[in-house]
Chains A and B, each alone.
Chain A
């Protein structure tokens, strides 16, 4: 059925059992993003740590209200970026952004996006792309703030 192309099992699993959910200390930056059309909200914190090749995403924690797509997408995001260098994580974010803008025509690189390839179907539904991007945009914002603010906070 058509619905299943959007609601992949991976998405429903992450929605029902979200990873890394809940706000945690310590953190370097916290942001609050909303989807003004539907009222979905996410508060997201990023903790960076120093690594040999630059800053590393040490933790991403979040809380929010939202639909299955936005909740699952944020959960998948945390799996993908925690532990990665900021530069590498930003490239994953770019790849996800490209996938979501592909209108269903994207060929996602599973090596880069892992579980996030499940969202390929969502890119066919313009009204839901913002849902899928809510947590990712919040993470990018928070990470940029954390990187600019230094690691000492």
Chain B
């Protein structure tokens, strides 16, 4: 597989990220391999947020003064940028949330609310006999909201399994997605295995039986070009902080006709059309789903992040990460006693690698790496069912992004070797 990486220069990219200049653990250069957890932020994002607070800060949509107009324009401008980034039909299909967990919960709670109301919300209603389908490789944020929804409505939760080599097991798809299926929710790129799932294939099967499709794109949107039209989904969520943006803001994209029909999630200020003591009517989407003062500076940061990533180019980022991935897979394969959780070939796979080291616990591996300035994550990465599937309680995970280098991959490999020797 080759991707176009014209003009990409990792040394120049690294200059945009101030934190990469600092040292950790007694003067060691920071080797940050935890971007699947949260990415680092470029100067462009930090500056945009500082500038917003220094020059434009006001509340949006309700302040009748110049600063209010500027803040509103900045916030709504972020929505336009996000819509363009995802290839949405227009910006009214973009709802800002706290993060992707809230984006998924928004859909789940809206469906729960639909289950106790009538009218236009009919198609979102769930009850006994209805089914929701997820996969065994989901993050807890794409499992727990559906478990809770099923508990509230009496619907049944079902799931795709995962093959031994870390791919989605589609062998039972015809039985799993059936006339009872109301929603299929799956991850685009696994936060543990790195696997990129054939979302389109699953979405087409779901639509063939009239089910809705939600895609957790938290780990794909930062790393490869994602178009909501190409995915064929009804809902797509991602979070800003994994794509060089700030924490505190996420995105739910949904087809406008769905947002029109769905009941609100959170009630409060700015999501209303009219409020009386006897009842309320609601604003048009996307505002119907944005109750209370939203994360305005964070929207500005997200806007800057999406512009930054677009300027570097997602094709170039993907090509660079692919090089890091193949280098890392080769390096890990050469180490005795190291087992990768997930595909060992680089096809349809992102640069997130979870692994196990014989006789050394993932926490201890990460501690040794940390002593060398190498930041990775250890644990179940909020995907405990997936770890149980592979018979382990935890793994160590290295995840790469546009600012990482092959030298850093080499440092990781050396660090793992050191951990093996330390605990031998």
Interface residues of A (CB under 8 A from B): 1-3, 6-7, 12, 37-41, 65-69, 125, 128, 131
Contacts and interface: CB of A to CB of B under 8 A. Distances in A.
Contacts of B25: 2
A9 B371 CA distance: 17
B361 interface: yes
B422 interface: yes
B396 to A, nearest CB: 11
A38 B380 contact: yes
Given A2-B25, A2-B26, A39-B379, A65 B371 contact: no
Given A38-B379, A38-B380, A67-B362, A6 B367 contact: yes
5 contacts: A2-B25, A7-B422, A38-B362, A38-B394, A68-B364
A130 to B, nearest CB: 10
Chain B interface size band reads: 10 to 19
B364 A67 contact: yes
Given A67-B362, A128-B363, 12 more contacts: A1-B371, A2-B371, A3-B422, A6-B367, A12-B423, A38-B363, A38-B380, A38-B394, A39-B380, A40-B363, A67-B363, A128-B367
5 closest Cβ pairs, A-B complex: A67-B363, A67-B361, A39-B393, A38-B379, A39-B380
Nearest to A127: B363
B363 A69 contact: yes
Interface string B352-368: 00000000011110011
A62 B212 CA distance: 47
Contacts of B394: 38-40
Nearest to A64: B393
B368 A38 contact: no
Contact of A39 (B364, B367, B387, B422): B387
Nearest to A1: B371
A39 B356 CA distance: 14
B363 A41 contact: no
Nearest to B388: A39
Interface in B338-387: 361-364, 367-368, 371, 378-380, 384, 387
A77 B378 CA distance: 25
A65 B367 contact: no
B205 to A, nearest CB: 33
A88 B388 CA distance: 39
Interface string B10-44: 00000000000000011000000000000000000
Contacts of B361: 66-68
Nearest to B423: A68
Nearest to B365: A67
Contacts of B363: 38, 40, 67-69, 128, 131
Interface in B374-414: 378-380, 384, 387, 393-394
A62 to B, nearest CB: 16
Nearest to A69: B363
Contacts of A3: 367-368, 371, 422
B371 A38 contact: no
Interface centre among A6, A40, A125 (most CB of B within 10 A): A40
Contact of A40 (B26, B367, B371, B393): B393
Contacts of A38: 362-363, 378-380, 393-394
A2 to B, nearest CB: 5
Contacts of B371: 1-3
Contacts of A2: 25-26, 371
A68 B379 CA distance: 14
Contact of B384 (A1, A39, A68, A69): A39
Output the residue of B362, B364, B379, B387 with the most chain A CB within 10 A.
B364
A131 B361 CA distance: 12
A12 B423 CA distance: 8
A132 B179 CA distance: 50
A84 B273 CA distance: 69
Nearest to A65: B393
Contacts of B26: 2
Nearest to A68: B364
A128 B363 CA distance: 8
A41 B380 CA distance: 12
A83 B51 CA distance: 65
Contacts of A131: 363
